[in-house]
Amino acid sequence: MAEGPTINTIARHAGVSIASVSRVLNGLPTREETVRRVLRAAEELGYVPNSVARSLKSRRTNQVAFAMADIGNPVYLAMVREIQPVLRAAGYRLLLHSTDADVADELDVLRGLGERYVDGLIMIPLRVTEGHLSALAAARAPVVVIGSVPEGAGVDNVRTDSRTGVRLALDHLYGLGRRRIAFVNGPADTVPGAARAAAYREALDALDLPYDEDLVEVGDFYRAEGARAVRALLDRAGDVDALMCANDLIALGALDVLRRAGRRVPEDVAVVGMDDTDLAAVAWPSLTSVSLGSARRGRAAAELLLDRLENGEREPRVVTVEPRLAVRASTVGARAAEEYGENGAAGEAGDGGEGAREAGRTAGEEGIR
Amino acid sequence: MAEGPTINTIARHAGVSIASVSRVLNGLPTREETVRRVLRAAEELGYVPNSVARSLKSRRTNQVAFAMADIGNPVYLAMVREIQPVLRAAGYRLLLHSTDADVADELDVLRGLGERYVDGLIMIPLRVTEGHLSALAAARAPVVVIGSVPEGAGVDNVRTDSRTGVRLALDHLYGLGRRRIAFVNGPADTVPGAARAAAYREALDALDLPYDEDLVEVGDFYRAEGARAVRALLDRAGDVDALMCANDLIALGALDVLRRAGRRVPEDVAVVGMDDTDLAAVAWPSLTSVSLGSARRGRAAAELLLDRLENGEREPRVVTVEPRLAVRASTVGARAAEEYGENGAAGEAGDGGEGAREAGRTAGEEGIR
DNA sequence: TTGTAGGCGTTATCAA
DNA sequence: TTGATAACGCCTACAA
């Protein structure tokens, strides 16, 4: 761990000034003889430029941060997987912040931009408070927010459209002849919780189905909670023939409970999840799920940020990613599901940007394919 | 995005020297009046110290990098989830490198340490070449390697023991009365592939079971390949009564094929995976899997690195994480599996360090629980 | 073509 | 207790 050589060391070694060293290293016009001597010295000494010093001078770190609640969440994970290569290709390193869905943490991250340890930030706030808006306005580096943010927040914004998403699912279920379509939501006081609840009512309306309180259960966005909620639902409304779940984990819990209750999926009860995570394809029966385009949102966010880093002064932009329905066995049965193709959704990563990259052979430690 | 204030700005504002500003900001003894003026100016100007300048001076970045093949891989993901909070608690930011399992990339990361953009590195090399060894020896910052590394490599090292892992699985299967235990491996020329192949032979030996070439199939570490391999196996050795799969994805592929072939799991064929990823608990039937302690390995690596950052000169240390068997339905049946507890393995995160942290409510975008 | 010198924002030393 | 000043490693006018 010897102290590394600096341009000073090289200058001495090569018998030139540090300015010449810098010039050579940056490819500025220099006498050939000098170039040779500098390069040789650099080579011999194993010189590597100090990025911190360079950053201080250039005011760029070539680092970008991504802040989300928890990297263990498959939705955020899908985003990271897209964000990382895009940034990397542009020469940026990726820094990860797990905010644990804590508002104070999120605000800290925003204020932390003043430390200038990154050139920009992609963030998914749990919810958007007043504090967020003022912190965003005062941010000392470009920020891209994933998740809806009010007009005039002054930041680039990537959204999805859960309204349409829920609508796709309910239309699908309706088309399959389902009429008693229950809804299992997460907490109503979260942004997505509220949005999805509203979307459910709207979709029912559009289909001319009555809104029945007995068919709605609110729990949390976890598997165990999903199970609990579905048990409650079945007790209360034994005639449900479809479950719209506010995310895939809830849906997995639903599958567990239905299986134990002896209800066949999808014959007796069809189940739809949301987010179209990797888990949907692994579940049995495989899970029909509304894709909210996590990967595409991640990619879009990265691209917006890069663009803004080149071009700091353009107007803030809003990108909306359209939801899709990934049809699988939990609504149409295993046989039909195969006809839809292996996973229903048409290439989540979109536009030739392949989501699941070839990872070579990691031997027992591989991503899903 | 106005240029931020520096200690110079504050000094002018407060009518003191930059030295005084620095002192106050660092809590060094200062006259109270001066403290007040500096703090007020800092407050008014919204001063935030520039971490780049600070790093240049202090020669510490408070950043640590984690380099693995692909963050989408559930095994690495489990590691990141442990590494992140440990580092964060110690005041370090986490930087992510996806090497795509490319040796050249890995070496680049090691050489890149010379840029001093991080204080240390945790890395999982795909395989350990000569190049790795010399790059490790020349590394300009402390490195912790996850995965076996030869004695004398001079770096901290976290390992698992796949030998024992496979042994646990085969003992379990044997105990259930299985005698025709096939093995589905990934490429034999990878480190884990080779290790697991050897472990399988050894475990057979220990059980006095014959090694039967027909019972071994080599493919890749993916679900589709696992499916292919198992089809081949069934064609060739229809009497297999158990499948030892070299990772969970292969095992998932196996479940698909068995289901289609009308073989009941576990009644006709028991299936064991490896790595005990989140997917194992989601699969149906839920998958018995050898846990190689991904989370614990991650945590151990982070702790080793932190220790070394405090104490640069101690001897390199080797930590070995013991494998465990997570028994689930794919070997003992759904009913019995429940008696083992929800997922068989006794708290993978170990030692009170809870792996699956409460993530609050992320509303539709949650990790598995 | 090259070298000297100043500055990026901090910290730390040394006089005053 | 405070201020001037010199680093940290690099880049870049500007002068030679």
**pLDDT per residue as tens digits for the range B78-103:** 999 999 999 999 999 999 999 988 89
Strand C contact with A18 (CB < 7 A) = yes
**Alpha-carbon torsion A13, A18, A23, A26, what sign?**
positive
Spatial separation of the C-alpha atoms in residues A274 and B171, rounded to whole Å: 40
The region of weakest confidence among A191-195, B65-69, B258-262 is A191-195
What's the CA A57/C1' D11 distance, rounded, in angstroms?
A: 7
Are the beta carbons of B369 and A249 separated by less than 8 Å? yes
Cα-based torsion angle of the residue sequence B325, B330, B331, B334 in order, rounded to the nearest 10 degrees: 110
- In angstroms, the Cα distances linking B296 to A58, A99, B2, B293, B349 are 40, 22, 44, 5, 6
Residue A249 has its nearest CB partner, among B77, B97, B368, at B368
Q: How far is A130 from chain B, CA to nearest CA, in Å?
A: 18
Q: Which nucleotide is nearest to B9 (CA to C1')?
A: C9
Instruction: Report the amino acid identity of residue B46.
Output: G
Spatial separation of the C-alpha atoms in residues B96 and A166, rounded to whole Å: 34
Residues of B in contact with A74 (CB under 8 A): 367-368
Chain B residue nearest residue A112, CA to CA: B48
Please give chain A's pLDDT, 369 residues, in tens.
Answer: 557 899 999 999 999 999 999 999 999 999 999 999 999 999 999 999 999 999 999 999 999 999 999 898 899 999 999 999 999 999 999 999 999 888 999 999 999 999 999 999 999 987 888 999 999 999 999 999 999 899 888 899 999 999 999 999 999 999 999 999 999 999 888 778 888 999 999 999 999 999 999 999 999 988 999 999 999 999 999 999 999 999 999 999 999 999 999 999 999 999 999 999 999 999 999 999 999 999 999 999 999 999 999 988 899 999 999 999 999 999 999 888 877 655 443 334 333 222 222 333 333 443 344
Residue B116 has its nearest CB partner, among A51, A56, A360, at A51
- In angstroms, the Cα distances linking B63 to A94, A116, A262, B116, B155 are 11, 13, 52, 10, 19
Q: Which residues pair with A157 in a beta bridge?
A: A145, A318
Nearest to B63 by CA among A70, A97, A47: A97
pTM as predicted: 0.91
In tens, the pLDDT along B312-347 reads 889 999 999 999 999 999 999 988 887 765 544 333
Burial class (CB in 10 A: 0-12, 13-18, 19+), B59: exposed
**A129: phi then psi, degrees, rounded to nearest 5:** -95, 175
Instruction: Answer for the pair A85, A93: CB distance below 8 angstroms, yes or no.
Output: no
The pLDDT value recorded for residue A336 is: 87
Nearest to A280 by CA among A315, A303, A254: A254
Spatial separation of the C-alpha atoms in residues B110 and B66, rounded to whole Å: 11
What burial letters (b/e) apply to B311-348, b meaning 16+ CB within 10 Å?
A: eeeeebeebebebbbbbbbbbbbeeebeebeebbbebb
CB-to-strand D contacts below 7 angstroms:
A 3, 6-8, 18-19, 22-23, 25-26, 49-50, 53-54, 56-58; B 15-20, 23, 29-31, 33-34, 53, 56-57, 59
Nearest to A187 by CA among A214, A219, A230, A152: A219
Mutation target among B366, B368, B369 for the A interface, most CBs of A within 10 A: B366
Spatial separation of the C-alpha atoms in residues B2 and A286, rounded to whole Å: 51
For residue B44, how many other CB atoms are within 10 A of its CB? 12
Mean pLDDT (chain B) is 89
Spatial separation of the C-alpha atoms in residues A20 and A13, rounded to whole Å: 12
Assess whether pLDDT exceeds 70 at residue B196.
Answer: yes
Task: Give me the DSSP letters along B112-174.
Answer: HGGG-S-SEEEE--SS--HHHHHHHHH-SS-EEEES---TTS-SEEEEE-HHHHHHHHHHHHH
Higher pLDDT, B228 or B335: B228
Task: Give me the DSSP letters along A237-260.
Answer: -TT--EEEESSHHHHHHHHHHHHH
Are the beta carbons of B52 and A50 separated by less than 8 Å? no
Spatial separation of the C-alpha atoms in residues B158 and A264, rounded to whole Å: 46
CB contact residues (below 8 A), chain B span 240-299, against chain A: 246-247, 249, 252, 255, 274-275, 278-279, 282-284
Are the beta carbons of A366 and B70 separated by less than 8 Å? yes
Quick one: which residue's CA is nearest to D8's C1'?
B57
Cβ of residue A203 closer than 8 Å to a chain B Cβ: no
Assess whether pLDDT exceeds 60 at residue B361.
Answer: no
Give the mean model confidence (pLDDT) for residues B240-251.
96
Cα-based torsion angle of the residue sequence A111, A116, A117, A122 in order, rounded to the nearest 10 degrees: 60
Strand C contact with A16 (CB < 7 A) = yes
Strand C contact with A31 (CB < 7 A) = yes
Assess whether pLDDT exceeds 60 at residue B365.
Answer: no
Instruction: Answer for the pair A171, A235: CB distance below 8 angstroms, yes or no.
Output: no
Spatial separation of the C-alpha atoms in residues A115 and A86, rounded to whole Å: 24
Spatial separation of the C-alpha atoms in residues B12 and A61, rounded to whole Å: 27
Chain A residue nearest residue B78, CA to CA: A72
Give the mean model confidence (pLDDT) for residues B187-202.
90
Assess whether pLDDT exceeds 50 at residue B248.
Answer: yes
Spatial separation of the C-alpha atoms in residues A149 and A134, rounded to whole Å: 12
Structure tokens at B88: 């964060």
Instruction: Answer for the pair B67, B99: CB distance below 8 angstroms, yes or no.
Output: yes
CB contact residues (below 8 A), chain A span 141-180, against chain B: 141-142, 162
Q: How far is A31 from chain B, CA to nearest CA, in Å?
A: 27
Residues contacting residue A210 through CB under 8 Å, at least 6 positions apart: A204
Structure tokens at A332: 């149409």
Classify strands A63-68 and B270-274 as parallel, antiparallel or unpaired: unpaired
Q: Angle of helix A130-138 relative to helix A103-112, nearest 10 degrees?
A: 10
Mutation target among A366, A368, A369 for the B interface, most CBs of B within 10 A: A366
Nearest to A264 by CA among A288, A285, A249: A285
Cβ of residue A19 closer than 8 Å to a chain B Cβ: no
Q: How far is B263 from chain A, CA to nearest CA, in Å?
A: 16
Residue B186 has its nearest CB partner, among A46, A77, A364, at A364
In tens, the pLDDT along B101-140 reads 889 999 999 999 999 999 999 999 878 889 999 999 999 9
Structure tokens at A334: 């295993």
Structure tokens at B300: 């151990």
- In angstroms, the Cα distances linking B241 to B25, B170, B173, B231, B259 are 69, 12, 9, 14, 14
Strand C contact with A19 (CB < 7 A) = yes
Q: How far is B236 from chain A, CA to nearest CA, in Å?
A: 24
Cα-based torsion angle of the residue sequence A63, A66, A71, A75 in order, rounded to the nearest 10 degrees: -130
Residue B69 has its nearest CB partner, among A55, A190, A362, at A362
Give the mean model confidence (pLDDT) for residues B5-24.
95
Quick one: which residue's CA is nearest to D2's C1'?
B20
Assess whether pLDDT exceeds 50 at residue B253.
Answer: yes
The pLDDT value recorded for residue B311 is: 85
Assess whether pLDDT exceeds 70 at residue B348.
Answer: no
Domains of chain B by start residue, with CATH = 7-49 (1.10.260.40), 63-160+295-321 (3.40.50.2300), 162-292+323-365 (3.40.50.2300)
Q: Which nucleotide is nearest to B7 (CA to C1')?
A: C9
Strand C contact with A59 (CB < 7 A) = yes
**How is residue A213 annotated by DSSP?**
G
What burial letters (b/e) apply to B202-229, b meaning 16+ CB within 10 Å?
A: ebbeeeebeeeeebbbbbbbbbbbbbbb
Classify strands A242-245 and A270-274 as parallel, antiparallel or unpaired: parallel
Are the beta carbons of A364 and B140 separated by less than 8 Å? no
Are the beta carbons of B190 and A274 separated by less than 8 Å? no
Please report which confidence band the pLDDT of residue B369 belongs to, taking 50, 70 and 90 as the band edges. very low
Spatial separation of the C-alpha atoms in residues A141 and A95, rounded to whole Å: 15
